[in-house]
Structure 1
Amino acid sequence: MDCTCSMRPQLSAVTEQIRAIVDETLQSYPGWTVKVGFAGYFDHKSAGEYERNRLPFTLDFTTDVEGFKEAINTIVVQDGYDYAEDVLAGLEGAASHLNWNSKVRLLIHFGDAPPHGQIYLICTFCLPSVYMYLVR
């Protein structure tokens, strides 16, 4: 999840949606062992706390769903000095810092800005509302 300041207005809605997804998954697959985890990222220009490939907030996969739900209430958003964010380092961090050992795997990304790089962003007027993702 994008944990930069631009996500502050959506933080409550996102954490509520995460809890709803977890609950629906448990109801849809009774008898399955469901593990949940979380990885939050900042932008690569964020000062101090964040270094590239280190995530500011990580919860490794667990079957303790109630503990997970409580933990996501402690997510803090901060920094973010430009429109684009370090989405790719966040996804790479989630892939490499969490213990992905189950046969069935699902990653859901929450964010409000595209990754850095011209291949992902075309900004004609350089306004946050004018953008288009390009996917190879």
Structure 2
Amino acid sequence: MSKWFCYSKNNANTQSSNSTSTSSVSSSLAYDLDNLNITQERLKRYADEANTLSSETSDTTLTANTEDDLKTKTIFLREKAISKTLNKIKLSMKVDLCFVLDCTGSMESHIAAAKDCISHVLNYIIRTNSNIKLRVGFCGYRDHNDKGDRLQFLDFTDKYEQFTTYMHKVKSVSSSNNDRPEDVLGGLDAAITQMDWQNSTRVLFHIGDCPPHGRRFTTLRDNYPDGDPNGLTAENVLEKMQSKNIFYFFGKITDKTDKMLEIFRGIIVPLEATPKKYIL
């Protein structure tokens, strides 16, 4: 049997191998832990979580009639809880990351910085989290009168050079419309419904400088003051996002999106209260 140290809330120090707070774990689990190359501090946290899970585990046929039986049962429950936790860790390290970017003319002065931000985020994850199995994708949006150029996609890929090459070709496009809102809801909806989300951890990183169409989002000049002409609403788009367990992050550029963020938060917070469904 290999040893795997356990973190105690009452003592933050690592115990010696003969300490009672050190748990025996099967060699296969120890190999998995070593293979994941998790830092000591994170292992302590996961061990503590495993202790909590153990107390909730009841589906075992072991009985505890003697002290030895009790020890055996305790080890069994601990290993079972650790195994479950380890599987969750492995799943959480498989990530789909989709960048959604406003590619309209108003972004011309920001597009290079936005693409640079995307590149930095991607490179940081690859460089500092080598155990993460990452797929990246892209969805760019413009406005309704841009027709064929309204949306552009690169579906999820683990070929990072291909993604980087694609991003170099992404450009802002000036359209003939004279309003400021953009097809934000269409871009988000397309990223949610048309991208091939597969991994257990799903993140959508949105960068834009203008709000969606509709009076509820802005007092700026708007060719679609009644809202999205295709019938999309913030509610149904964010509910789709929540149903796919996608975490949402927004990169703010201007104050024009403040009202949008306020409305999004008002929708997202109640959704977070829905049992077993989470969104950021």
Corresponding residue number in structure 1 for 2:209:
112
- The C-alpha deviation readout for 1:2-50, integer Å capped at 9, x for no partner, is 111111111111111100000111123212211100000111132x424
In 2, Cα distance between equivalents of 1:79 and 1:16: 21
Give the count of matched residue pairs.
127
Paired position in structure 2 for 1:16: 116
Aligned 8 A contact 1:37 1:60 in 2: yes
Q: Which has the higher helix share?
A: 2
Report whether the alignment pairs 1:63 with 2:163.
no
Q: Which letter does structure 2 place at the counterpart of 1:63?
A: D
The structure showing larger relative contact order (alpha-carbon pairs under 8 Å, at least 6 residues apart) is 1
| Alignment correspondent of 2:171 | 76
Contact 1:43–1:79 (Cα < 8 Å) also in 2: no
Query: Would you identify which runs of 4 or more consecutive aligned residues in structure 1 move more than 6 Å?
Result: none
SS in 2 for 1:45: helix
Q: Within 5 Å, give how 1:1-136 maps onto structure 2.
A: 1-46=101-146, 48-50=147-149, 55=151, 57-80=152-175, 81=177, 82-123=179-220, 131=256, 132-133=258-259, 134-135=262-263, 136=266
Q: Distance in 1 between matches of 2:181 and 2:163?
A: 28
- Provide the alpha-carbon RMSD of the alignment: 1.9
Per-residue deviation at 1:118?
1.4
Q: Which has the higher strand share?
A: 2
In 2, the alpha carbon distance for the partners of 1:70 and 1:45 equals: 27
State the shift of 1:79 in Å: 3.2
Taking the aligned partners of 1:12 and 1:50, their CA distance within structure 2 comes to 19
Q: CA deviation at 1:99?
A: 0.5
- SS of aligned partner of 2:127: helix
Q: Distance in 1 between matches of 2:183 and 2:128?
A: 33
Percent identity over the alignment? 31
CA 117–25 in structure 1, closer or farther in 2 if over 3 Å, else same:
same
> Residues 118 and 59 of structure 1: is their aligned pair in 2 closer, same or farther, counting only changes over 3 Å?
same
TM-score under structure 1 length normalisation: 0.84
CA contact (8 A) 1:85 1:115 kept: yes
Alignment-mate amino acid for residue 129 of structure 2: Y
Higher Cα radius of gyration: 2
1:119 deviation in Å?
A: 1.5
- Which letter does structure 2 place at the counterpart of 1:14? A
**Aligned pair in 2 of structure 1 residues 84, 64: CA closer, same or farther (>3 Å)?**
same
Q: Which runs of 5+ in 2 are unaligned?
A: 1-100, 222-253, 267-280
CA distance in 1, matches of 2:181, 2:139: 18
